[in-house]
Chain A
Amino acid sequence: MDIYTLIINALKVGYLAYGGGGTMIVLVHRLFVEAGYLSEDLFSRMVGTTFLVPGPFGINIGALAGLEVAGALGVVIMVLGIIAPSFTIMPILWKLMGNMPDNRWTIGFKKSTKVIGWALSFFAAILISKTVVVHVGHTLAIAIIIYALIWIGMMYKYKIHPAWFIGFTMILGVILGMVGIV
């Protein structure tokens, strides 16, 4: 990817990222994977890695995409693109909203941001899951789907910390790889 395209993509990721981490996944997928700069396989692993670390999800996934397509300079460009709205839109909006009482439309906007986050997280899950199940056999694909749904149920119902799921899955993956199942 040439630097000019990377700068444009970094700004697109920064300025279009409404609704949280899910939006970032979809944006990076559209601009880097679907455009042919990153493979589906690499991207899905990148998303998995990003869930292992703390901090702003968008910055981490953006930095890794930048690293893959343009090395250290790519990281810098992506990070600057993602933080650009904080310096340009945030001061204006802060001034405007500071003087604006909560009304029907601002409440509506806040609720919509939540919905955008939900829709994009859901779509991001479909994108990555597709990569997982397409490359394994039928039986393994079904086993993975059941495994994922059981963990989601446990994390949701019993409030099990996602770190347990992540750690267990990584260890299980290594063991299954060693015995030749995956």
Chain B
Amino acid sequence: MTLWEIFITSMKIGLLSYGGGNTTIVLFHREYVEKRKLIDDETFSHMIGPSIFVPGPSGLNIAYATGLEVHGVAGAIVSMFGLMLPPLLIVIPLWILLKKTAEIPALSGLKLALKVVGGTMALYAAVVILERILAEKTKVKIASIIYGLGIVTLLALKVNLILVVILSLIVAPLMGIFVDT
């Protein structure tokens, strides 16, 4: 697979990635494992864990890992930039356009509409994740809700962000106490 092909593949995935990192991971699996057979299933599944654990968008991390696997460091860079480029080329002009348009008095309703979209979609994302948490066994479910509300409380109290992340990460593996292995 040439660097150009990696770039085009990532661009295509970038354009189709609606719905967060999980969609991006599925699309990379389809391209590299199912269609092109360049990466085997086991190697790909080893990439998913670190992609989720490493901070930042998990879609970008999987782009890095697949690019690195098929074409070294250059492949990783090209794969990441391919994934980011189409969304950036859409979101920046769109933002400039919407900001300008919302200043036209007749179209001022756009301002409120965008805010309603932002708030509702963030809450919808929380509902979707909550559904997965509630599907866990009782012990994990209760521990997750306490852990989650603890993070929300710290944020509401405006505790230093670095401290919140560090505390969350220290507590994170302790969830294993409630897991049946």
Q: Note whether A and B form a binding pair.
A: yes
Chain A interface residues toward B at CB < 8 A: 12, 14-18, 20-22, 24-27, 30-31, 41, 44-60, 63-64, 67, 75, 79, 82-87, 89-91, 93-94, 97-98, 103-125, 128-129, 131-132, 136, 144, 147-148, 151-152, 155-156, 162-163, 165-166, 169-170, 172-178, 182
Q: What's the interface size class on B, roughly?
A: 35 or more
Beta-carbon contact of B124 and A86 below 8 Å: no
The SS class assigned to the A binding surface is helix
The answer, among B91, B168, B169, B181, for a CB contact under 8 Å with A53, is: B91
Contact A107 to B152, CB < 8 A, known contacts A55-B86, A97-B50, A115-B133: no
Does B39 make an interface contact (CB < 8 A)?
A: no
Alpha-carbon distance between A127 and B111 when the two chains are bound, in angstroms: 16
The answer, among B14, B49, B80, B92, for a CB contact under 8 Å with A86, is: B80
The answer, among A24, A27, A54, A75, for a CB contact under 8 Å with B17, is: A54
Beta-carbon contact of B161 and A30 below 8 Å: yes
Interface membership of chain B positions 155-179, coded 1 if the CB is closer than 8 angstroms to chain A and 0 otherwise: 1100001100100110111111111
Report chain B residues within 8 Å CB of A17. 55-57
A-B contact pairs, 20 of them (CB 8 A): A17-B56, A17-B57, A25-B122, A45-B98, A52-B117, A63-B92, A87-B64, A104-B176, A106-B49, A108-B174, A115-B133, A115-B175, A118-B129, A120-B155, A122-B126, A128-B122, A169-B120, A172-B109, A177-B106, A177-B108
Alpha-carbon distance between A170 and B120 when the two chains are bound, in angstroms: 13
| Stretch among B1-9, B30-38, B140-148 lining the A interface | B140-148
List which B68-114 residues lie within 8 A (CB) of chain A. Answer: 68, 76, 80, 83-84, 86-88, 90-92, 94-95, 98-99, 102, 106-114
Chain B interface residues toward A at CB < 8 A: 14-21, 24, 46-47, 49-61, 64-65, 68, 76, 80, 83-84, 86-88, 90-92, 94-95, 98-99, 102, 106-133, 136, 140, 144, 147-149, 151-152, 155-156, 161-162, 165, 168-169, 171-179, 181
Report chain A residues within 8 Å CB of B121. 48, 51, 162, 165-166
Beta-carbon contact of B129 and A121 below 8 Å: yes
Beta-carbon contact of A128 and B118 below 8 Å: yes
